Structure 1
Amino acid sequence: MQIKGSSSGLVLTSRRAATCTDSEVDERVNREACRRVGLRSMAILPLLIGEQAGGVLKLAWRDPRPFDEDEVPVGQAVADMTAALMFHASQEGAQTLQRKVTQDPATGLPNRSWFYEQLRVRVDDAIARSGRVGVMAARVRPQQRDVTMEIARRLARECREGDVLARLGGDEFGVILSVAARRSIIQSQE
């Protein structure tokens, strides 16, 4: 990113937001770059980490437009949250972040987002192979956290190799059943 003489550079050095209502008449912007990406107006907001600006967040529009007095403060709040997330992400390892995003902290089981991603992958695979996917959902009514933990342990113990067990929410668990012939499923229920 070019800093000297650019709108982004101005925002980085001043640590203050800037707006451009029309890139065709604003001398601070690179008109050719704006034309290439098809933008005519923008708000450029500093990503502040403490007193330092670590980058900018650009909100862009295809048409020239004025900015309401509330838009820049709301945009800056989004930029501040983005900067905080970036800072915390840089402080934690990738594995820790991956675990936080995909694992239920109470049970240690995969969470809803991981479950749905695995379900999407398995459904796509089943469609490609003209196969099947089995899904089971269970809603339980635990009274305490230790009961939820015990239910999670029991469900995990009953899952077969290749099954995917996840905690979907407070009292909901889901299982993606591994591929099995219809006959073997019926026999296991007898």
Structure 2
Amino acid sequence: MEFQCNDATIESTLLPHKKLEEIIHAQTSIARLGINFGAILKEAAQQSQKLTNADGAVIELIEGDEMVIRAASGIASDYYGVRRNSANNMSSITIKSKQALIANNTENDSRVDQVSRAAIGHRSMIVFPLFHENKVVGVLKVVSKKASFFSMAELKIIAYMSELVASTMFHAQYYAQDELFRRATQDELTGIANRALFMDHLQQNIAHARRDDSKVAVIAIDMDDLKVLNDNYGHHIGDKALQTLAARFLDKVRSSDTVARLGGDEFAITLSPVDGKQSAETVVTNLINSLDQPMQEDGKEFKLGASFGIAVYPDDTDDLDELLEIADQNMFTNKRARKKARI
């Protein structure tokens, strides 16, 4: 018996109280995985197999013109990651019809891909569509080595599980958006703001300062001897030094201030609001003092240092680009003075 199932048929199917409790337990175990999408799909496949007493389960997602197995359990475990064209098989029929399918004799079912059926070894199967934002984005399957194994009860269970997977995909989409925003605004190595976010915050700070008749300070920072660390001790030591500077600088400013890595050995900080240059100089003194303690790594001590330059809006200039230039010039002046003092 092979048939197609509509929502009303599934909805009218009742499950025993004990089975509902098992479904709730399965959903709870999946929810505990948070936003780890891959782990959630894997757990959903395993729980679907367990709840239906099947021999295997698969979650296939549409990726371009292909169907990709993104989770697999039981007798289908070896097929994780397999890609295939969206041919005329039960997955594609389910996607087009947007309805669940049951095949109780897959060996003689023309809708079934016989090559993959023989490889996996199933004789009956449920295929359920996965919806995301009113579109079918994939399928959830359970398979059995026995013919005529599945009933409407198992289909109802898979309906519950598919809703959970769809909900997970909804949250994963928003997480992915957050992740893209993070990647676009944070320095990957140190986790602090990058140049784009720094410039955005500085523009906002100056706009507020204009309205409030307040002041904003910019601190330009150039780390000492990054190339020496990379060349003599390896890039992992240079990376660790950059991370250490970022962490120590963050510890010495307010939540309203922005610490950023602009690239390479360059950092910058916005202080907003600030009373004036003297207040900014106090912050710089604290930043310098934060570098007094050497960095410990690989059983060695590494001395940290940096040059600093300050510019204050609107005392030095009311132009953003000029403000940054003045801070840079003052930083280079400080750098030359420090080199001269060491000679």
Normalising by the smaller structure, the TM-score range is 0.3 to 0.5
**TM-score computed with the length of structure 2 as normaliser:** 0.26
Structure with greater proportional helix content: 2
